[in-house]
Amino acid sequence: MHSFGYRLNALLTFSVTILAIICAFASYSDNLNLPSPQAEIQVSLTMNISANLESMFTWNTKQVFAFVAAEYETPLNALNQVSLWDGIIPSKEQAKFWIHTTNKYYFTDQGSNLRGKEFNLTLHWHVMPKTGKMFADKIVMSGYHLPEEYR
Amino acid sequence: MGWIGETVESIKSLQVRQVLTQAVSLGMIVTSALIIWKALMCFTGSESPVVVVLSGSMEPGFKRGDILFLHMSKDPIRAGEIVVFNVDGREIPIVHRVIKVHERQETGEVDVLTKGDNNFGDDRLLYAHGQLWLQRHHIMGRAVGFLPYVGWVTIIMTEKPIIKYLLIGALGLLVVTSRTKEKNIRDVDALNLKLNPC
């Protein structure tokens, strides 16, 4: 009963159990963090995005994936979400940012309903943990509209 | 040589009853693994509740060898979610992020476009020829949880099948021989009692 194999097995089982418990604990500890992010976007199809996502970061955060999506309704579709810009924030130090950028992806619709369209710009973020559960949330900013004529 | 001889000896000394007990206990291990897997399928609503990341297209978020837990609920699919999808004509499912969603007014059907965080362009090149959008039925689930490194075990086993067979063989041998050793000890005890009745 006390051979080398048994002891190795017991040690391995024990350490795997402990690892699993630590992982679960680390994931659970993210619930204790109450984030309070801020963001502001100005558009002329170049965008000025300023955001403060520092409160997203805990000890169990690997990175935060942030993106800006235009959301609008058309006669065909109840909801359209078109991603315009995204970025990966790898650390807390880079989580308070100001960026001036053009759209990274084309702002196209299924059909041609974009002229004079009202739309919301939403800053979404996905918190990717070192281990455990992933989180996502967003800030909606409304009151943008596209011009009647553009090329 | 001694160890091998001992093992061969213990296999020779097996009795029908013991073989049956061991077959049952092996069966228990296999079936309980199956039960856990099926129960996970039931709870998550996804046909494969756990997937291993095989490519680096989602780095630095997900690396090769990381494990993702999937969930397939009735909730509509939204931009930013990480989904696992099957493309017609491809065997291996892909894990990428949704960047565009168009949801129909009446039917609620969705057209979805995906992209890997680490890829330069969107996934239209990966889709079947002429396919522009993913529909609901392509999507196997969305990623909800993450565990690093654990998937390496399966990657190593699928890429080097020899290691898999060695491991299975060693485990099987361990199960078969460990019981007989116990029995041998018990036999010795019985013998001792016979010799020194007290």
Which pLDDT score is estimated for B32?
A: 93
Which pLDDT score is estimated for B122?
A: 84
Q: CA-to-CA distance for A136 and A119, rounded, in angstroms?
A: 21
Which structural domain range is residue B120 located in?
50-149
CB-based contact A77 B105, cutoff 8 Å: yes
Tokens read off for B97: 């992020």
B123 is catalytic: yes
Q: CA-to-CA distance for A110 and A78, rounded, in angstroms?
A: 12
Mean per-residue pLDDT for B50-78?
Answer: 86
Residues in Cβ contact with A85 at an 8 Å cutoff, skipping those fewer than 6 apart: A47, A49, A67, A68, A101, A103, A104, A105
Mean per-residue pLDDT for B4-17?
Answer: 73
Which pLDDT score is estimated for B31?
A: 93
DSSP states of A73-119 as a string? --SSEEEEEEEEEEEEE-SGGGSEEEEEEE-SS----SSS--TT-EE
For the cut 50, the answer to whether the pLDDT of residue B53 exceeds it is: yes
Q: Give the model's confidence band at A11: pLDDT under 50 very low, under 70 low, under 90 confident, else very high.
A: very high
For the cut 80, the answer to whether the pLDDT of residue B119 exceeds it is: yes
Q: CA-to-CA distance for B135 and B42, rounded, in angstroms?
A: 23
Q: Give the model's confidence band at A6: pLDDT under 50 very low, under 70 low, under 90 confident, else very high.
A: confident
Which pLDDT score is estimated for A49?
A: 86
Does residue B198 form part of some domain? no
Query: Is residue B88 located within the same domain as residue B142?
Result: yes
Q: Give the model's confidence band at B97: pLDDT under 50 very low, under 70 low, under 90 confident, else very high.
A: very high
CB-based contact B60 A83, cutoff 8 Å: no
Query: Is residue B26 located within the same domain as residue B96?
Result: no
> Do B140 and B48 touch, CB atoms closer than 8 A?
yes
Q: CA-to-CA distance for A69 and B69, rounded, in angstroms?
A: 26
CB-based contact A86 B99, cutoff 8 Å: yes
CB-based contact A78 B104, cutoff 8 Å: yes
* Counted domains in chain B: 3
* Interface mutation target, options B146, B173, B179, chain A, most CBs of A under 10 Å: B146
For the cut 60, the answer to whether the pLDDT of residue A90 exceeds it is: yes
> Do B117 and B97 touch, CB atoms closer than 8 A?
yes
Which pLDDT score is estimated for B198?
A: 46
Residue of B nearest to A138 (CA): B80
Domain spans, chain A: 33-145
Alpha helices in B115-160 (DSSP H): 152-159
- Nearest-Cα distance to chain B for A5, in Å, is 10
Query: Is residue B164 located within the same domain as residue B112?
Result: no
> Do B137 and B88 touch, CB atoms closer than 8 A?
no
- Residue B67 has phi, psi (to 5 degrees) of -110, 140
pLDDT digits (tens, 9 = 90+) for B133-156: 888 888 888 888 888 888 888 888
Query: Is residue B66 located within the same domain as residue B33?
Result: no
Partner B contacted by A132 (CB < 8 A):
yes
ipTM: 0.77
Average pLDDT, chain A: 84
Q: CA-to-CA distance for B95 and B127, rounded, in angstroms?
A: 13
Q: pTM value?
A: 0.74
- Nearest-Cα distance to chain A for B6, in Å, is 16
SS3 A29: helix
Distance of CA B193 to the CA centre of its chain: 49
Average pLDDT, chain B: 82
Q: CA-to-CA distance for B151 and B164, rounded, in angstroms?
A: 14
For the cut 90, the answer to whether the pLDDT of residue B125 exceeds it is: no
B189 is catalytic: no
Q: How far apart are the first and last CA of chain A?
A: 80
Question: Of B40, B64, B67, which Cα lies nearest the Cα of B51?
Answer: B67
B57 is catalytic: yes
> Do B19 and B10 touch, CB atoms closer than 8 A?
no
Which pLDDT score is estimated for A44?
A: 65
For the cut 70, the answer to whether the pLDDT of residue A58 exceeds it is: yes
Beta bridge partners of B95: B84
Query: Is residue B186 located within the same domain as residue B123?
Result: no
Query: Is residue B57 located within the same domain as residue B142?
Result: yes
* Interface mutation target, options A15, A131, A137, chain B, most CBs of B under 10 Å: A131
CB-based contact B80 A136, cutoff 8 Å: yes
Question: Of A85, A77, A150, which Cα lies nearest the Cα of A121?
Answer: A85
> Do B194 and B28 touch, CB atoms closer than 8 A?
no
For the cut 80, the answer to whether the pLDDT of residue B2 exceeds it is: no
Does residue B91 form part of some domain? yes
CATH architecture of A33-145: Sandwich (2.60)
Does residue B177 form part of some domain? yes
Which pLDDT score is estimated for B196?
A: 55
The residue type at B133: W
pLDDT digits (tens, 9 = 90+) for A106-145: 888 877 777 778 888 888 988 888 888 888 888 888 878 7
